[in-house]
Structure 1
């Protein structure tokens, strides 16, 4: 089954300067004001049934990261919360050392952004100098070899911010679900379909994608048991289908088609499958006397994903679209 729920750790940060509190540029009060404004805006406008934001208010009175010594505590907290990504929010010039370290320790997708400077001295001095800090942080992330997404230095109400954050949320959903997929493979590739050949070892080594085979003999055995032991329920299901679909199929054929629904649900549960890739011809007709095409449609309505003709590559593309839309794309 698909999981569209994501958790994003918010990492507001500021510059650390030892000694007396600054009164001009890098005055922490302005960074704290930025932090409060940004975090409140994000939590109010982007929290939803499938999206949760985890802040670091536990860390100190400011709820901000400003020293590399704090990274271990923040990383531990985020791992306990099982976050799927972090959003580094530059509230003034920031701290590139701490930002790079937290990105490295978390090992999840990273988004970088900071709000535009809004308060200036008469001589043009900026109190926060956010954009310059973004240059430094992005360079440090590159040095650590950390892939990251970036939203241009803009106001939080700007369209660029909205587009950037929503795109990142989609990426987080894709990354979370793509790695370590379990794909149940029923049967083998159909002989003429060279276009759907895959490298199973490469999928495992590069992405942790596990192909779980169910051979056709085992599949037919399960189908026959379901058909013989649940015939009364299958007849009821077939009658219900007749009310919804104009069909000229025989009752026996419809009942066998409905048996596929229970079969795929069973192997999905037994194998903790993310998705099911199945042969649909010619073995199914020869061995069981029906095809699973109708069952695939019914299962899709129930939230399962199944792909006929053993097209695992095509299935990955469907998953990309589903996760990119965080479940709102109607496949």
Structure 2
């Protein structure tokens, strides 16, 4: 994700201890700079309504990811209201404690954000807050999570996703509710007929296909052993999809991968989607879901944006209650960067159709976050959880792995079935639960957390 821009706007009243307040401001500024934020600042702290109005005018066109109002001293709420109404970004109110000395109340910072919070609530303006020292690590993390969530929300509002074909019959979990996605997330959907992809794939020059195969052979050393006509079919599909993404400026694809790719093109689409999701061929990673699962693609986009790494959409195909483990599997579309480096990745045949190209490797070990933008309740909800991919042999052919859950496996299974959740989840390496919860709260999506709580 790009460097996060934070508008850092301190408020000071001259009737309080200004030198002490200025020290608090400097300390908070240093904490934010040290954390890597790009700060947007006024020339001096805001001291009156006129100054607040000028800042509001100056900053309204700068589009910060977050506005941090640092309440260095008490002030009435007029200045914060002016800023919050003018700048299109989430508001974070930060007050600082001061020693209880029995003497002068030097800052009265807490009362300032209390007053501000009431004024914003009356105007239905949401905000987050902290009452903590300028060096407080948890506060800086809260600021990071909220700024990151805001940046992600903006990226989604500008994002365009392609849906190729319709989801297969009976795959209701892949249903596209375009109006709801637009209303809640702001994403744009472009429908693309399967026939357009097939025609473009058939027109890819043989020289381009051979060049792609040469590059891919550096990562998969068994391509020459696979049926070559079908292999080249997958590689032509990869190039066709890549062209469509570039021409239409798409940020992700949801592809009806069966049965037509097998029956019309004589190949599997899985390998092509793996390559795109991985950023193969010097393009940015383009998240792809099979079965035209657009909510899966958007979930992968969210995870990819937060982590700066490719994400993977997978089925849950087995649960072992005794060890709290879940078997994850998909035919072969996981990004190759998720392969266990101790096991050589291979090109493979689709497990049901016997055609290439699918990827074949176990998922690498490490902490993972899984998520799903679910519509099981008829409204959008973000399902979240954590686990650990284990460095074990893959449970099935294709791209698969074994995840140890962060909750009892029976509880996971009960939630999966009692909530009627979709059969796909998306995962990425790392812990992004707090960031996802913050994002869901920002865009007003309910969450279901699958953990020990």
- The residue aligned with 2:23 is 33
- Cα deviation digits, residues 163-211 of structure 1 (max 9, x gap): 3223223322322222232111111111121111122122223432211
Alignment counterpart, residue 136 of structure 1, candidates 101, 108, 115: 115
- Does the 8 Å contact 1:280/1:291 carry over to 2? yes
Alignment counterpart, residue 181 of structure 2, candidates 179, 203, 228: 203
- The residue aligned with 1:288 is 265
Q: Give the TM-score normalised by structure 1.
A: 0.83
SS of residue in 1 equivalent to 2:7: strand
- The residue aligned with 1:87 is 68
Alignment counterpart, residue 197 of structure 2, candidates 213, 219, 222: 219
With over 3 angstroms needed to count, the CA separation of the structure-2 counterparts of 1:242 and 1:316, relative to structure 1, is: closer
- Mapping 1:110-189, distance limit 5 Å: 110-118=91-99, 123-151=102-130, 153-189=131-167
- Mapping 1:1-331, distance limit 5 Å: 3-15=1-13, 22=15, 26-43=16-33, 45-47=34-36, 51-57=37-43, 63-118=44-99, 123-151=102-130, 153-228=131-206, 230-237=208-215, 239-243=217-221, 248-302=225-279, 303-325=285-307, 330=429
- The residue aligned with 1:18 is none
- Does the 8 Å contact 1:6/1:172 carry over to 2? no
SS of residue in 2 equivalent to 1:172: helix
Q: C-alpha separation between the residues in 2 aligned to 1:273 and 1:126?
A: 56
CA RMSD, Structure 1 to Structure 2 (Å): 2.5
- Give the structure, 1 or 2, with the largest relative contact order (CA under 8 Å, sep 6 or more): 1
SS of residue in 1 equivalent to 2:147: helix
Q: Please report how far the alpha carbon of residue 238 of structure 1 lies from its aligned counterpart in structure 2 after TM superposition.
A: 5.4
SS of residue in 1 equivalent to 2:102: coil
Q: Please report how far the alpha carbon of residue 228 of structure 1 lies from its aligned counterpart in structure 2 after TM superposition.
A: 4.7
With over 3 angstroms needed to count, the CA separation of the structure-2 counterparts of 1:319 and 1:140, relative to structure 1, is: farther
The count of corresponding residues between Structure 1 and Structure 2 is: 308
SS of residue in 1 equivalent to 2:31: helix
Q: Please report how far the alpha carbon of residue 132 of structure 1 lies from its aligned counterpart in structure 2 after TM superposition.
A: 1.1
Q: Give the TM-score normalised by structure 2.
A: 0.62
Q: C-alpha separation between the residues in 2 aligned to 1:291 and 1:7?
A: 43
- Does the 8 Å contact 1:8/1:87 carry over to 2? yes
Q: C-alpha separation between the residues in 1 aligned to 2:206 and 2:165?
A: 22
**Structure 2: gaps spanning 5 or more residues:** 280-284, 311-427, 431-453
**Structure 1: gaps spanning 5 or more residues:** 16-20, 58-62
- The residue aligned with 1:60 is none
Q: C-alpha separation between the residues in 1 aligned to 2:307 and 2:108?
A: 35
- Does the 8 Å contact 2:63/2:88 carry over to 1? no
Q: C-alpha separation between the residues in 2 aligned to 1:273 and 1:95?
A: 47
Q: C-alpha separation between the residues in 2 aligned to 1:259 and 1:182?
A: 23
Q: C-alpha separation between the residues in 2 aligned to 1:4 and 1:330?
A: 19
